Amino acid sequence: MKINEVIRKYRKEQNLTQEQIANHLGVTAPAVNKWENGISYPDITLLAPLARILNINIDTLLSFKDDLTDIEINQFIKDISGEISSLGYIKTFNKVSNKVKEYPNCYKLILYVAQIMNAYLAMGVETVSEQEKYQKQITAWFEIVTFSNNKELANMAIISLSQEYMNKGEYEKAQKLLDKIPPSGFDKRTTQATLFIKRGEYEEAYEIYEKMLYQYINNVINILMQLISLLCEEKNYEKALKYSELVDKVANNFDLGKYIGASSKLPIYLVLKDKNKSIETLEEIIKGIDSLTCARNSKLYQHMRFKEEDGIEEMEKMIKDSLKVDKELDFLRDNPRFKFLMDKLK
């Protein structure tokens, strides 16, 4: 909880009015009202007496064991990956558990550690019996976050938890969870863009429409990729390849680069065990990495502000790692062209 929420919560528990708190501290009732509404904060000299009046300690008042900043959470999550490699999954899991115990109300921390520990567990880092033990705790973490007042975090936890139930064949539980997520609310962006146009603020209107275009095109591509996966499950490879051609056209027409189209074809050729096509597609993927940032130079999105970091190095590392360990690529490893690609990536 934030300090304003803490003050309001414990003042009510002590059956005190804002005026009584103000009288104790020598401030005005409106000042206390502003504290509780997050408009302003109590002076540092008032923290200790305020905590005593509320019958709590300073740590509780400041939520010292309640919240971490986004920077602290992101750094902790970043450290976990390295520690799993160096310390192993079990020791890292114990460290993560202790962190959650230290900050039991920091829902963002709990959600993120649950997601990352779940991802590594799915890679088969431990035996089946141990997996069940850790999976139970991860599921419990997801369940905790579903009760968060932050709807975005709660919905993310519900999605992850429903996926866990689906993996276990508990489809009714998964459906009940998904039913908790309300339909998407009204998207005000089009109305906002219209308002900008009425004001003559065309740059702002362009930015909204371009962001919507970029988002919708990526959504279309993601849907097509899911359809390709489904068609491969049903062994309808001819139709899957037609969808991959469509992905390629959409990505090219909307200046999203060559990488996406090539990535949509690779799973099909791997399932078919087509060595030549698989290697050709891998070559396209590697060449296409640089084109991932072409959208930022496109006239279609010239009013959008993109993040500075392009993620090219991370993408190259991910491809290297997948080429090394992906079992679906084992049938290619003796091929000279594949070995050349590996050497090229090094």
| 189-313 matches 70-178 in CATH topology | yes
Is the pLDDT assigned to residue 171 strictly greater than 60? yes
**Least confident stretch, 246-255, 260-269, 310-319:** 310-319
Choose the most confident range, by mean pLDDT, from 64-73, 96-105, 307-316. Answer: 96-105
Category of 38 on φ-ψ map: left (φ > 0), alpha (ψ -120 to 50) or beta: left
Res 278 pLDDT > 90: yes
Domain ranges of the chain: 3-61, 70-178, 189-313
Q: Count Cβ atoms below 10 Å from residue 39 Cβ, excluding itself.
A: 11
* 203 — pLDDT class (breaks 50, 70, 90): very high
Which whole number is the average pLDDT over 288-306?
87
Give tens-digit pLDDT for 235-246. Answer: 999 999 999 999
Report the C-alpha gap between 203 and 200 in whole angstroms: 9
Tell me the average pLDDT across 7-30: 90
Spatial separation of the C-alpha atoms in residues 116 and 264, rounded to whole Å: 25
Among the listed ranges 97-106, 181-190, 215-224, which one has the minimum average pLDDT value?
181-190
> What's the chain's Rg over C-alpha atoms?
26
Fold of 3-61: 434 Repressor (Amino-terminal Domain) (1.10.260)
d(CA 342, CA 327): 15
Q: How far is CA 253 from the centre of its chain?
A: 28
What is the topology classification, in CATH, of domain 189-313?
Answer: 1.25.40
Specify whether the CB–CB gap between 145 and 107 falls below 8 A.
yes
Cα 340 to Cα 329: distance, rounded to the nearest angstrom: 14
The mean pLDDT of 191-217, rounded to a whole number, is: 92
Evaluate whether the domain defined by 70-178 bears CATH number 2.150.10. Answer: no
**Does the structure show a pLDDT above 80 at 310?**
no
pLDDT at 205: 93
The reported pLDDT for the residue numbered 292 is 78
Maximum separation of any 2 CA atoms in the chain, in Å: 82
Residue type for 149, please? Answer: N
Is the pLDDT assigned to residue 186 strictly greater than 70?
A: no
The secondary structure of residue 289, as a DSSP letter, is: G
Q: Which residues contact 218 (CB under 8 A, 6 or more apart)?
A: 256
Using a 10 angstrom Cβ sphere, with 0-12 exposed, 13-18 middle and 19 or more buried, the burial of residue 265 is: buried
Residue 233's pLDDT band, with cuts at 50, 70 and 90, is: very high
Are the C-beta atoms of 54 and 61 separated by less than 8 Å?
yes
- Contact assessment for residue 244 and residue 272, using Cβ atoms and an 8 Å cutoff: no
Res. 127 pLDDT band, cuts 50 70 90: low
User: pLDDT above 90 covers what percent of the chain?
Assistant: 36
> Is pLDDT larger for residue 28 or for residue 344?
28
Residue 277: partners with Cβ closer than 8 Å, 6 or more residues away:
265, 269
As given in the structure block, the two tokens for residue 121 are 């567990």
- Residues 281, 275: Cα–Cα separation, whole Å: 10
**How far apart (Å, rounded) are the C-alpha atoms in residues 263 and 286?**
10
Structure confidence at residue 314 (pLDDT): 64
- The winner for highest mean pLDDT among 62-66, 86-90, 160-164, 278-282 is 278-282
Mean pLDDT of the chain: 86
Give the pLDDT band (50/70/90) at residue 309: low
pLDDT of residue 180: 82
Whether 256 and 300 have beta carbons less than 8 Å apart is answered as no
Query: Euclidean distance between the first and final Cα of the chain, in Å?
Result: 48
Output the CA–CA distances (angstroms, integers) from residue 162 to 138, 167, 172, 180, in the order listed.
Answer: 13, 9, 10, 11
Nearest Cα to 163, choosing from 115, 126, 113? Answer: 115
Predicted confidence (pLDDT) at residue 284 exceeds the cutoff of 70: yes
pLDDT, tens digit, for every residue of 50-82?
Answer: 988 998 887 777 765 556 788 888 888 888 877
- The full DSSP string for 113-141 is HHHHHHHHHHTT-S-HHHHHHHHHHHHHH
- Contact present, 64 and 106 (Cβ < 8 Å): no
pLDDT for res 176: 86
